[in-house]
Amino acid sequence: MNRHSAPPPLDAEADEEDEVAAAQPPAGGGNYLTLSGYASLQSELEQLVRTERPALVQTVSWAAGNGDRSENGDYIYGKKRLREIDRRIRYLMKRLENAVVVDPAHQENRDQVFFAATVTIADADGSTARYRIVGVDEADAAAGCISWISPLAQALMKSRVGDVVRLRTPAGVREIEILDVSYQ
């Protein structure tokens, strides 16, 4: 090791193991993605590889030429950010490599809830909500997109309009009626 390179952080190995574990498909299935979810991950990967990483490499090279690296904030931050970008690139490549893209247009049983379905439900108290069942990487509860492995999605799977499903929650059993099932 030369005097200008810092040793890897002690938790770098643990980060690498976490990244590999996170990139594996969930137990019991593949890394299912909708068409839009796949496109979104692909777009992020391209942005990182073609734009963000090359610009950062240029900045780090410039900063490295400015002398003492131990007190050079541009260099230190740039190297740290470069590690983060490289980690994200590896993660995205693994997720896309293992992706099983599901096109809802090819769903045969359109009256039943499966992956990529948009489901409108009603609680026993009469409140309604609408959820789209998506891949793990696409889940965004605030936007109404829930992961196919979430307890709610699992409870809804294979149900039809008019069915009442039971969902066990920490607050107790919740009965949910299926009002609508669609695929977009």
Q: Mind listing the pLDDT tens digit for each residue in 49-108?
A: 999 999 999 999 888 888 777 778 888 899 999 999 999 999 999 999 999 999 988 888
CATH number, position 123: 3.10.50.30
Q: Please count the structural domains in the chain.
A: 2
Determine, yes or no, domain membership for 20: no
Query: Do 115 and 131 belong to one domain?
Result: yes
The model's confidence at residue 15, banded by pLDDT at 50, 70 and 90, is low
**Closest by Cα among 94, 86, 85, 107 to 137:** 94
β-bridge mates for residue 168, sequence order: 173
Query: Do 108 and 151 belong to one domain?
Result: yes
Positive or negative, the Cα torsion across 171, 174, 114, 34? negative
Query: Do 134 and 168 belong to one domain?
Result: yes
Query: Do 94 and 113 belong to one domain?
Result: no
What does DSSP assign to residue 171?
A: T
More confident residue, 107 or 155: 155
CATH number, position 67: 1.10.287.180
Q: Does the pLDDT value for residue 171 go beyond 50? A: yes
Using only the alpha carbons of the chain, give its radius of gyration.
22
Query: Do 119 and 166 belong to one domain?
Result: yes
pLDDT digits (tens, 9 = 90+) for 20-33: 455 455 555 678 99
pTM for the model stands at 0.76
pLDDT > 90 in the chain, percent: 66
Structural domain boundaries, residue 55: 31-102
